[in-house]
Copies of this chain bind each other. A is one copy, B any other.
């Protein structure tokens, strides 16, 4: 049922941390050949690696267009429910429901408006009608009630919650012209607090350099590793444009306190070396008017921070890069009790414009 007259905060619900226990994880199967090279076959291989890595630790619900349903069902993957969810693309972090819980063990869902990352201003594909319906469909499968915001555009990758009242966002995304140009920063903050059941929003200025698809989603540059503790994508080289962005985030986060009044502890995690699209990769994509182009030589927003926290594990993108090993070690130090599941094929996900965090969405254990 759709709830029309109240907000999650009014009803005693809040968004838990991704680090809290999950019921399951949703993903969507990649398919569109104008975004995924070679008919999406390399991406499908990478997504399957992610699905199977998560399914070792918690149940996976995999949403698939009818066109790929038989094919994916036939993989007969263990601990994976293959459901039909028509989609324009496979970024369930951004299009899926945001689940909120209360203290009685109940769960509800937030169904934000979705407009393809900027609508007719700077959206990256058209149409986005199927993607805007994904949250409702997930809600139906989970059989919970749903708050729907018809007039507030938000992608799940543009918010993090520590589960204790603090929300992390970037100004670059949330104040971008293609989302909610009719709303002030204060109005946007108020909506976030009301719907996420939170007390304070931390506004990191910018996301990862060249994260143009998403206008700099927070989930590619910084993540909570515990309440009061974040991990930040870092670039040592002052000549690289990422250095200034990371430094701005660092300075901002050091200057702030969270909802509980804590100063934040910041772990730095160096980004991989610059990743650019090869000629072969670019040529594998069906170039289409109206879909974000993937040209030879384009720099991709590669970052280890786009990892996913599932029950007992971290699902970490690797890039066949000298920094890979440090990323594994740093995260293992942050999470001594979690398995670090690495995804060597992550480059294929990055080629589509995001990474592991972008293609996953947790359902909390209520």
Contacts and interface: CB of A to CB of B under 8 A. Distances in A.
Nearest to A130: B66
A86 B137 CA distance: 13
B84 A84 contact: yes
Interface in A59-94: 59, 66, 69-70, 73, 76, 78, 81-86
Interface string A5-20: 0000000000000000
B137 A83 contact: yes
A112 to B, nearest CB: 16
A365 interface: no
A279 interface: no
B82 A140 contact: yes
Contacts of A143: 59, 81
Contact of A1 (B70, B78, B85): B78
Nearest to A132: B70
A140 B78 contact: no
Contact of A84 (B2, B59, B85): B85
Interface in A116-142: 130, 133, 136-137, 140-141
B141 A81 contact: yes
Interface residues of A, number: 22
Contacts of A70: 133
B73 A136 contact: yes
Contacts of A83: 83, 137, 140-141
Contacts of A133: 66, 69-70, 73
Nearest to A66: B86
A76 B141 contact: no
Interface in A29-64: 59
A85 B84 CA distance: 6
A140 to B, nearest CB: 4
Nearest to A142: B81
A85 B85 CA distance: 8
A326 B76 CA distance: 50
Given A2-B73, A73-B136, 8 more contacts: A59-B143, A66-B86, A66-B130, A81-B143, A82-B136, A83-B83, A83-B141, A141-B141
27 contacts: A1-B76, A1-B78, A2-B73, A2-B76, A59-B143, A66-B86, A66-B130, A66-B133, A69-B133, A69-B136, A69-B137, A70-B133, A73-B133, A73-B136, A73-B140, A81-B140, A81-B141, A81-B143, A82-B136, A83-B83, A83-B137, A83-B140, A83-B141, A84-B84, A84-B85, A84-B137, A141-B141
